[in-house]
Amino acid sequence: MAVWCFGSINIDHIYTLPHLPAPGETLAAGTYRSQLGGKGANQSVAAARAGAQVRHLGAVGADGAAARAKLEAAGVDCTGVQQLQGATGHAVIMVDPVGENVIVIHPGANRDLSLDAALAALTGVELDDILLLQNETAHQAAIAEAALGLGMDVIYSAAPFDLEAVQSVLPFINTLVMNAVEAAQLQDALGVDFMDLPVSNVIVTRGSEGASWSSRGMETIHAPALPVTVVDTTGAGDCFTGALAAALDSGAVPEQAMRFASAAAALQVTRAGTAEAMPTRADILALLGKSG
C-alpha cells in the first residue's frame, strides 16, 4: 500500500513588514524566510511523517533542487517529480504586524508539467493505493481518471476552490475534502445536497468545530477538534488530509482515520509554518493517548 500525491510544489518567500505597501512604496522587511510550500508538497510531507510510504507526482523548475531535497528529507519518494527549465512555483507572502497579508503566486512548473510524464510515473500502483490531488496543478481530471481506472482510492481536496475544476474532477474521485467555506460555495453553486454528488464520501473540516465524514447509507462521523493553543493555522487542512490518507492506507476505519487526522492537525497549528510543521506519527499517537 502507498499514498501517491499529484500536486503542487512551491517555494514560499515570506517577508514581515511594518505595514503592507502602498502603490509605488518601497519597504524594508523586518525578517525573511523561505520554506517548502504548495498544497501538494504539504500533503505529501504530512502523509509521510504520519507513517505512509509516499510518492509525489509533480514538477519543479531549474531552481527547485532545494524544494525537492526537502521533500526527500521528509521521506517522500520524488522519482515522479519532473525537472523543467522554467521557474518552480512560488509565493511571495508579505505580512504586517497584525497578521494581514498580501500574497502573489506564480504557478510555474506546477502548471507547465507534462501530462504524459505524470501518467507514465503511475507505475507500480497497487489496488487500493491512495491518490491525493488538489487544485494547484494542471491535468487534475486526467490524472484522477487514470488513477481510478487503476483501482486507486482518489481523495480530492477542492482547494483553492474553483467550480469548473471541481466539476471536472468529481466523476473520477471517491472522496471529496473541503473546508466549511468551500462546502458552502459548492452547495450554493450546484444547488444539491452532498449526498446527491457523484462521490462516495464527503469530508468537511470546520477548524475548531472539528470535521465530519458523510457517506451514503451510513451515519455521519464527527471528529471533534482537540483543544490546543493555536500559533498558525496555515496548512492545517493539508495536514488533516495527508494524515487522513496515511491512516486509511494503514488500514484504519473511517472513524479511526478521522480522529488520527484531527490530532495531526491539532499538533500542526501549534507550530509556525506549513510543510516543516507537520507532526510525526509518534507525536500524533502520543497526543491521542493523552486525549483518551
Q: What residues are labeled active site?
A: 238
Put residue 124 in one of left, alpha, beta given phi > 0 → left and psi -120 to 50 → alpha. left
Helix (H, G, I), strand (E, B) or coil at 103: strand
User: Which is it for strands 31-37 and 54-60: parallel, antiparallel or unpaired?
Assistant: unpaired
66, 87 Cβ separation under 8 angstroms = no
- Overall residue count recorded for the chain in this entry: 292
Euclidean distance between CA atoms 12 and 3, whole angstroms:
24
CA pseudo-torsion sign 148, 150, 154, 156 = negative
Degrees to nearest 5, angle at CA 256 with 254 and 257 = 60
Degrees to nearest 5, angle at CA 282 with 175 and 290 = 95
Euclidean distance between CA atoms 198 and 176, whole angstroms:
10
Strand partners for 13: 34, 92
Strand partners for 34: 13
**Cis amide leading into 160 (omega within 30):** yes
Cell 481518471, located at residue: 145
- Find the largest Cα–Cα distance for the chain: 58
Q: What is the end-to-end Cα distance of the chain in Å, rounded? A: 28
